Structure 1
Amino acid sequence: MRTGDYLHEFEHLLTGLNTAETSDVLEYYQEYILDADLADYTAAMTKLGTPQQLARKTLADYSLRQTTPTMATPRHNARLIWIIVLALFASPLAIPLALAVIALLLAGILVVGAIILAAVVVVAGLMLAGGFALIGGLALLLKSFATGIFYIGAGVATLGAGVLALLIGYLVVKVLLQMGVVIIKFIYHKLQTRHQKGARNA
């Protein structure tokens, strides 16, 4: 098989990049293959890894460059963490590190899951209590105006506390995901730096 087959497979795996980015990446690796005098598919795979491994690394690199953690949504941060983990698995030397990162992520998911569950229980409890207090206060208005107003006020305050708890839960999850992205970026950059130094010394 030729190096063109390698690049063709690689191109089809760059699903997260737009046309211009894909062209830039392909041009870079075409020049790299020519400069390194990689004669065929096997030579390219020996030097660069499989097309899947190279694609995972490339997508991770692009995602890291384009992401501003403070502006990213929790969903985007979760996707970025997943892309970087896949990129770590792409390098055989990084598989033990990737397994450690997976273990760390599972612990993080359990923590985030526990926070979400606690937030749901607290919010549901506050909303129910606030709703009942509000309805009870409206019912009591005709019998005792002061008591009715008290319960209406307590109900509104409890509903407000429920909304506040929901927002705080969302912010906590968002911050935890941002911290996860920062940690995993640090690990990935360290690994890339070490790999580049090793390649230069080889």
Structure 2
Amino acid sequence: MEEDKKVYFVELERYLSPLTAEETNDVIDFYSEYVEDAGLQTKTELENKLGTAKQLSRKILADHSIKIDEDQRHHNIKRSPRSNSKMIWIIILAIISAPMTLGIGGILLILLMSMILTAIIIVVAMLLTLVILTAVCLYTGLLMLFTEFTVGIFYLGCGIAALGGLMIAMPLLYWVCSAILQVVANFARYLYQRFSRKRQGRSEA
């Protein structure tokens, strides 16, 4: 019995590697006390109440990421696109691992992932279009410069203009991507909190 609990918490600690040692110890202490109070002894009892160690770790990491996000929002600290991406991924893993991810939850999860994929495709397509346009115009302009000077100058001008557009578009696209990631992160946080409330209601029932 005690061995089951020991193995469970060793696995949980391993999955919580993204947290600091202090945060991990706090989590382990909290759930150890919870397990003792609930009288959970066997692996089956632990997993029926808390889920597997991996499922519980994903829930903990998602809760932790959302807490950091809320703290930063409270102090008007803007999250970076990388932080938002990390939070989205952690939440997706937490939702996937939850037994309740069925029906409308599955549809919402697919929608969330589709939003991210669509944003990536749009950004990549726009950048590739500008890069190709710039390269073609500059290359054509250089070739035509020695045969049709006027036409060559025209294409070079188009290429330089496209290059300027690319320089303008890159920070603009970065801003758009950041905004999209923020929207998706907000949606992911809402979705996870909704699932958490539903899961808590079921466990209390």
Q: Into which bin does the TM-score normalised by the smaller protein fall?
A: 0.7 to 0.9
Q: State the Cα distance separating 1:42 from its structure 2 match.
A: 2.2
Amino acid at match of 2:29: E
State yes or no: 1:88 paired with 2:88.
no
Q: Counterpart of 2:187?
A: 183
Determine the C-alpha separation between the residues in 2 that align with 1:155 and 1:36. Answer: 70
Q: Residues 6 and 151 from structure 1, CA distance in 2 versus in 1: closer, same or farther, beyond 3 angstroms?
A: closer
Q: State the Cα distance separating 1:157 from its structure 2 match.
A: 4.7
State yes or no: 1:30 paired with 2:16.
no
Identify unmatched segments of 5+ residues in structure 1: none
Identity of aligned residues (%): 31
Q: Which moves more between the two structures, 58-67 or 93-102? A: 93-102
Could you say what secondary structure the match of 2:101 adopts?
helix
TM-score (norm 1): 0.79
Q: Counterpart of 2:80?
A: 72
Q: Residues 97 and 53 from structure 1, CA distance in 2 versus in 1: closer, same or farther, beyond 3 angstroms?
A: farther
TM-score (norm 2): 0.78
Determine the C-alpha separation between the residues in 1 that align with 2:109 and 2:27. Answer: 28
State yes or no: 1:124 paired with 2:128.
no
CA offset digits 1:19-46 (Å, max 9, x no partner): 0110010010011011111123222111
Q: State the Cα distance separating 1:62 from its structure 2 match.
A: 0.8
Determine the C-alpha separation between the residues in 1 that align with 2:156 and 2:106. Answer: 54
Identify unmatched segments of 5+ residues in structure 2: none
Q: Counterpart of 1:164?
A: 168
Determine the C-alpha separation between the residues in 2 that align with 1:25 and 1:131. Answer: 59
Determine the C-alpha separation between the residues in 2 that align with 1:128 and 1:105. Answer: 35
Counting matched residue pairs gives: 194
State yes or no: 1:44 paired with 2:46.
yes
Determine the C-alpha separation between the residues in 1 that align with 2:121 and 2:156. Answer: 32
Amino acid at match of 1:71: R
Determine the C-alpha separation between the residues in 2 that align with 1:170 and 1:90. Answer: 32
